Structure 1
Amino acid sequence: MAIEDRRLRERIARRQLITATARALAESEGWDAVTTRRLSTEIEYSQPVLYKHFGSMEEIVEAVALEGFGELAVTLREARHGGATPAGEVDRVAAAYNGFAADNPALYDAMFTRSTRLRFGAEDTPAPLIEAFGELRQAVTTIAAGGDVDTLTEVLWAALHGLVLLGRNGRLRPEHEAERLEILLARFRAAAS
């Protein structure tokens, strides 16, 4: 049993090395720089070893995205609980969401813009996606006055995502980022109540 345990630990460690290296390369050079050839060179394993862990680059991106959703859930949870009362939860969570996207652009791309098989609202939705959505939903619940909380959460998430991508791609004036977020949240609170 000890040999099997050791092999399992080694397999998990290699898998984590692959995803960590892919993520680091993507953050420093963009996702186009992340290829199986480049990864195998960086981690000093052959490409067949990579394919023992992941069937394709898309599976590597999905693994990175799942890690990202787990991290986003933690970030949003900390923001939600960062105040003495539920008042202001939506504001704190929205600011944390924007900060997470700004601090992790390649990770954010893996989570939301790269093609993956990860789906929200499906029977097989992975737990990290459910947890991240759940944290945002909990914050929206504090201001939802009888509306469909899931739909309100989807609308807020879509609006935050739009602001993130438009701002990051230089489509919006950077000096007005805080003002845009404040306007969005004020309108959202008014519509939700």
Structure 2
Amino acid sequence: MTIDDRRQRDRTAQRLLITLTARTIAEREGWAAVTTRRLSTEIEYSQPVIYKHFSSLDDLVEAVALDGFDELAAALESARSDSAADVQLAAVALAYLDYAAEHPALYDAMFTRSTSLRFGTDETPPPLAAAYAQLRAAIDSVSDPRDPETLTEVLWSALHGLVALSRAGRLRAGREAERVELLARSLQP
């Protein structure tokens, strides 16, 4: 291994440690607790090392969000591929809700915090596109003859609304499967 290869490996490991630590703190205490001072204390790197990888805390949150989109895409793909065609949509919807419930701070970074990450543009990062593609794939089996892009946006909006309302205690507990089943049926042709 060359010196440059080792340096790159070390930089990659540092970046991963910073993002994982930020995510851990956020899941435990919320994003307000994630500061460069706190990160430097937790991981025993100086603040300049953190700023060498991320120009701001917003950049760090975006990196964490991108990791989350990779994970969400994998969870949705697994739910879709492990389900029969007639229940794929409901399985994907439940997987989405489960992911949001299991990772609330990460979900905030992905969907509710202000970021420069954008869907539906030429600059959409691959992890965002991959997560969206899994929702779209679940919709493809029920969209005919309707516009699958619009149906995917409706599904995504409904799921995000269910997450937000559930987290705020605005919906009755324990009814997620019933809601998802009703949503999936309503999107059927």
Same fold (TM over 0.5): yes
Normalising by the smaller structure, the TM-score range is over 0.9
SS at match of 2:174: helix
Who is 2:56 aligned against?
Answer: 56
Alpha-carbon separation, structure 2, partners of 1:41 and 1:99: 32
Q: Which moved more, 1:114-123 or 1:166-175?
A: 166-175
Name the structure 2 match of 1:172: 171
State the alpha-carbon separation in 2 of the partners of residues 138 and 181 from structure 1.
17
Distance 2:121 2:37 in 1: 33
* Letter of the 1:155 counterpart: V
Partners of 1:27 and 1:182 in 2: CA distance: 29
User: Residue 88 of structure 1: SS of its match in structure 2?
Assistant: helix
Report the TM-score, using the length of structure 2 for normalisation. Answer: 0.97
Q: 2:77 and 2:60 mapped to 1: Cα distance?
A: 26
Equivalent position SS for 1:115: coil
Secondary structure of the equivalent of 2:86? Answer: coil
Query: Which sections of structure 1, spanning at least 5 residues, go unmatched?
Result: none
What TM-score do the two structures reach when normalised by structure 1? 0.95
Distance 2:85 2:9 in 1: 41
Q: How much has 1:181 moved relative to structure 2?
A: 2.1
- C-alpha displacement of 1:183: 2.0
Alignment of 1:1-193 (within 5 A): 2-83=2-83, 85-189=84-188, 193=189
Aligned partner of 1:182: which letter? E
Residue correspondences, number: 189
- Taking only the aligned residue pairs, the percentage that are identical comes to 59
1:105 CA displacement: 0.6
Distance in 2 between the 1:116 and 1:132 partners?
Answer: 17
Which amino acid in 2 is paired with 1:39? Answer: L
CA distance in 2, matches of 1:156, 1:14: 37
SS in 2 for 1:92: helix
CA distance in 2 between counterparts of 1:40 and 1:52 reads 12
What is the distance in 2 between the residues matched to 1:25 and 1:43? 11
Partner AA of 2:91 in structure 1: R
Residue 174 of structure 1: CA displacement?
1.2
Structure 2 unpaired stretches of 5+: none
Kindly indicate whether the alpha-carbon contact (under 8 Å) linking 2:66 and 2:128 is maintained by their aligned counterparts in 1. yes
Q: What is the Cα-based RMSD across aligned positions, in Å? A: 1.0
How big is the shift at 1:146?
1.2
